[in-house]
Amino acid sequence: MSGLVFPTPVRGSTVDVLGLRWPPPVRRPSEQEISLEIECLCSKVSATIHGPVPVHRICHCHQCKQITGGTYGQFLLVRNNSMLTWRCNTAELKAFSYYVGEDESENNVKNVFRCPKCFTPIFIGQGNPNSNRMLFFVGCLADPTWLNNHKPEYELSTEDRCAWVPFIAQPLASSPKPEPKSK
């Protein structure tokens, strides 16, 4: 034995290991199925998110601030397109694509989808356009009272958080900053 003594772990306790929480937070399976209506300002774009409660998160990165025009972006993460029922022609949605970081590959592209009439941002599709990973803006909830009982679970890019904005949820590990292009 090395003579090292470790305290007895306390059930439910966490520790920081290299800046990450261990054990990582466990999402308890939702026993409740949800049905959340999404719509734009003019009601031309509408959908229903149904199934288990999606992950609710906040992002403080510069791009999310620019897209939302606020101090952070707040999203519902939908990982499966089968959780959606659209009541509009999604081919009409206007998309703006931008790259995250310096590598202009399809793995680093994000697509912001907006209503073609009122330009309300509806969701961000991450990575490959065929991906099932979508971040729906919580501002598009038809009934925002759902948010009263569903606090965000995670915060991302907290190093970019405005100093006067309090921490609201469990911070996730910081993502590495993109390397500047060499000249």
Contact 134, 86 (CB under 8 A): no
Query: Is the pLDDT at 63 greater than 60, yes or no?
Result: yes
Contact 73, 59 (CB under 8 A): yes
Q: Where are the domains of the chain?
A: 33-171
Region of poorest pLDDT, from 69-73, 97-101, 113-117 = 97-101
Q: What number is the average pLDDT over the span 11-28?
A: 55
pLDDT of residue 119: 93
How far out from the chain centre does Cα 179 lie? 23
Instruction: Give me the percent of the chain exceeding a pLDDT of 70.
Output: 70
Query: Is the pLDDT at 1 greater than 50, yes or no?
Result: no
pLDDT of residue 88: 86
Q: Which helix (H) or strand (E) holds 65?
A: helix 62-68
- Say which CATH topology domain 33-171 has: glutathione-dependent formaldehyde- activating enzyme (gfa) (3.90.1590)
What is this structure's pTM?
Answer: 0.72
Q: What is the pLDDT of residues 142-182, one digit of tens each?
A: 998 999 988 898 899 999 999 999 888 777 765 545 555 55
